[in-house]
């Protein structure tokens, strides 16, 4: 399954003039329950315009199937924006991997690719954890070309969730039994999820038919034993969970840049740090 969350084609950064124009006072600053502070915005002239095809900060306010309005960046739902932290929370798809009773094996492709590499975002290594839910389930998160470790720019990490018995599963505990978590490297903006296929899960399929792997906001995630025993991780979340993105400033995240005011023009608490060449003043 190929999953491209954001395929933004930003190449050239614009002149700082684009950023210094204050957005019009008539801009819509709320979509449903979500506040949309600058540099994000909904209409042209209301968000930080960073290049012809770059709509990193340009959102749409869509009427969704449940009758509510919600902000999207292409197909990615934006749950919230924090200007002070230089972060956005988006909804990220859970990758399921399920036992097929007919074929007596695990179903489907076991590799899922998620890519923010052409946007102004990085995956927050501080706030997110790669999380695997299931029984006898080993999953990896890696760069796409993890088979070519020679380049030195690749990474691969992961963890294994085991289930010795239902009695040992505990709500709120993600430390190996039915649930495990791994930290991700700093500074990545795309990842591949791969399930290890060598485990024969026929014997545990009646107890736990599906395994799940997802990069998720650690503070939000709260393991429920029923995610394994009743398979309701997808049902209880709608198949999507929060993921925290950091705005990128040059090659580091905005928050890192703000710590070093010598190198970046992100001095004032009323400025938004977006790129080393652009300083945005909040209206």
Return residues touching ligand NAG (CB under 6 A).
60, 62, 72, 75, 100, 102-105, 107, 171, 200, 202-203, 206, 224-226, 260, 262-263
DSSP code of 51?
S
d(CA 8, CA 54): 5
**In the bound complex, what is the minimum distance in angstroms from residue 62's beta carbon to ligand NAG?**
4
Q: Closer to ligand NAG by CB, 141 or 174: give it.
A: 174
**In the bound complex, what is the minimum distance in angstroms from residue 230's beta carbon to ligand NAG?**
8
d(CA 183, CA 170): 21
Closest CA to 19 of 220, 265, 269: 265
**In the bound complex, what is the minimum distance in angstroms from residue 229's beta carbon to ligand NAG?**
8
d(CA 25, CA 39): 14
Q: Please give the order of strands across the beta sheet that includes 111-115.
A: 111-115, 190-195, 137-142, 156-161
**In the bound complex, what is the minimum distance in angstroms from residue 2's beta carbon to ligand NAG?**
17
- Cβ-closest position to ligand NAG: 263
Q: Closer to ligand NAG by CB, 72 or 155: give it.
A: 72
d(CA 243, CA 124): 8
**In the bound complex, what is the minimum distance in angstroms from residue 54's beta carbon to ligand NAG?**
15
Residues 6+ apart with CB under 8 A from 42: 27, 28, 31, 36, 58, 59, 60, 61, 71
Q: Closer to ligand NAG by CB, 102 or 151: give it.
A: 102
Check: CB of residue 172 under 8 Å from CB of residue 225. no
**In the bound complex, what is the minimum distance in angstroms from residue 128's beta carbon to ligand NAG?**
22
Residue 253 backbone dihedrals phi, psi, to 5 degrees: -75, 160
Q: Closer to ligand NAG by CB, 64 or 82: give it.
A: 64
Q: Closer to ligand NAG by CB, 5 or 141: give it.
A: 5
Q: Closer to ligand NAG by CB, 103 or 269: give it.
A: 103
**In the bound complex, what is the minimum distance in angstroms from residue 149's beta carbon to ligand NAG?**
29
Closest CA to 68 of 55, 79, 81, 82: 79
Q: What angle do CA 184, 188, 189 make, to 5 degrees?
A: 120
Q: Closer to ligand NAG by CB, 39 or 58: give it.
A: 58
**In the bound complex, what is the minimum distance in angstroms from residue 105's beta carbon to ligand NAG?**
6
Cis peptide before 39 (omega within 30 of 0): yes
d(CA 258, CA 160): 36
Q: Closer to ligand NAG by CB, 96 or 143: give it.
A: 96
């Amino acid at each position: 399954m190929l999953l491209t969350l954001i395929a933004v084609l930003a190449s050239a950064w614009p002149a700082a003039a684009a950023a210094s124009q204050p957005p019009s006072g008539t801009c819509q600053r709320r979509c449903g329950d979500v506040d949309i502070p600058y540099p994000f915005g909904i209409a042209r002239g209301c968000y930080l315009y960073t290049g012809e095809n770059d709509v990193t900060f340009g959102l749409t306010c869509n009427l969704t199937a449940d009758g509510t309005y919600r902000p999207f960046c292409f197909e990615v739902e934006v749950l919230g924006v924090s200007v002070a932290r230089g972060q956005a929370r988006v909804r990220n798809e859970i990758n399921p991997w399920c036992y097929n009773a007919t074929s007596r094996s695990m179903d489907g492709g076991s590799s899922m690719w998620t890519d923010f590499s052409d946007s102004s975002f990085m995956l927050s290594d501080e706030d997110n954890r790669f999380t695997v839910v299931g029984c006898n389930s080993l999953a990896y998160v890696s760069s796409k070309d993890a088979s070519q470790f020679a380049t030195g720019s690749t990474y691969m990490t992961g963890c294994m969730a085991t289930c010795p018995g239902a009695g040992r599963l505990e709500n709120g505990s993600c430390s190996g039994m039915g649930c495990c978590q791994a930290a991700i490297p700093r500074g990545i903006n795309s990842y591949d999820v791969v399930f290890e296929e060598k485990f024969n899960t026929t014997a545990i399929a009646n107890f736990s038919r599906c395994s799940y792997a997802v990069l998720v906001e650690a503070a939000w995630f709260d393991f429920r034993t029923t995610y394994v025993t009743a398979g309701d991780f997808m049902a209880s979340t709608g198949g999507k969970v929060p993921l925290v993105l950091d705005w990128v400033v040059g090659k580091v995240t905005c928050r890192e840049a703000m710590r070093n005011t010598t190198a970046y023009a992100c001095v004032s608490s009323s400025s938004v740090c977006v790129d080393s060449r652009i300083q945005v003043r909040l209206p």
